[in-house]
Amino acid sequence: MTEHSPDVVVIGGGIVGLSTAYHLALLRAGRVVLIERAEMLGTGSTGRCAGGFRHQFSTEINIRLSLESIRMIMNFEPETGCAVDVHQDGYLFLLTRPEELEAFRASIALQNRLGVPSQLLDPGAAAQLAPYLDLEGVIGAAYCSWDGIADPHGLTQGYAAVARRLGVEIRTGVAAAGLRVHRGRIEGVHTSAGFIPCGAVVNAAGPWAREVAGWAGVDLPVHPERRHVYTTHPFPAAPPDFLMVIDFTTTFYCHRESGGVLMGMGDPEERPGFNLDVNPAFLDRVLATALRRYPQLGDAAVNRAWAGLYEMSPDAHPILGRVEGVEGFFLANGFSGHGFQHAPVTGRLVAEEIVFGRARTLDIAPLRFDRFARGVPAREANVV
């Protein structure tokens, strides 16, 4: 490497990559360069997400990630000096099946043991939180007041600003094209602007993570899955607050957005792929589900529609940290729809792994790449 070669190259300019770059600079990891193939930062999955954050997960490691990451989101402005719009109005999961109720009962017990004040509600208590809903068929609900909504753009640009202030070099319009690996060690990154020699690479490429890992000879089990998001124009019966409501059986969700509603739903017929086109026919299915739960949405008109990509892993947990056999190659992938909310702590964990040789904030052994070879990991059940 030359005198001016970076010590670490981060591939990907979404919130995960930018959080990692910021925390690397904070820990004085040396010269850090982040590359993003788009001309602007945060225009991939980060810019297309709904902005939710929650503690209501079914596994201990995801709950612990949320506890630390949401604390970082709430303290973002005091820590960085960058303002971010945050609404901590809660998540309300509507449950219609006995097996869902029992599964959430067990999850809430785990969350409570870890210090999360989530609670199981009867339909009457759920109706008091969201009186605009039709709760026909609902047999219970799960609620946590610590959950909420934050602005993805504000956090992403905030991390970018403070990372630059700390000396990170951010190059947009520069695409990664390959990795140079010699004798099991990273030597640099081939890019559309030339070769960048370095001693460490962070794969924060979101839905394209598998391709990047393949350049290092790593078969990363991550695949992209399209998800649609819709917003409405303002209408008189829009929710008064930013409570996120999720009909767990159908995966339909909605919350207040700019005087109207933001809503979405998973499509069980969706197949892995990079297609970002909006499927017009799917809107009819979403609206049919939405109107059953929220009849007054019939008074609203759809304003915008877009699609983003989840980066799904086999167990719906992220894949973090070093890769045995490829020295200097680090993963921050596979968030399965939870990347925005877990990005703050992920950046710190990966930076700690690079600088100190291990993550200090949390034990990431359950999230390492080699877990798939060790056996079948526990699957996160609360995926929306």
**What confidence score (pLDDT) does residue 47 get?**
87
| Domain ranges across the chain | 8-50+153-222+315-374, 86-148+224-310
pLDDT of 93 > 60? The answer is yes
Would 8-50+153-222+315-374 and 86-148+224-310 be classified into the same CATH topology? no
Domain 86-148+224-310 CATH superfamily: D-Amino Acid Oxidase, subunit A, domain 2 (3.30.9.10)
| pLDDT one-digit tens code per residue, 244-280 | 999 999 999 999 999 999 999 999 899 999 999 999 9
Looking at every residue in the chain, the average pLDDT score rounds to: 95
Which burial class, exposed, middle or buried, applies to 28 when counting CB atoms under 10 A from its CB (0-12, 13-18, 19+)?
Answer: exposed
Q: Tell me the two tokens of residue 184.
A: 């099991």
Topology annotation, domain 8-50+153-222+315-374: FAD/NAD(P)-binding domain (3.50.50)
pLDDT tens track for 299-351: 999 999 999 999 999 999 999 999 999 999 999 999 999 999 999 999 999 99
Distance CA 5, CA 126 (A): 57
For residue 376, the model assigns a pLDDT of 67
Give dist(CA 152, CA 215) in Å, integer.
29
Residue 2 predicted with pLDDT over 60: no
Predicted TM-score (pTM) of the model is 0.96
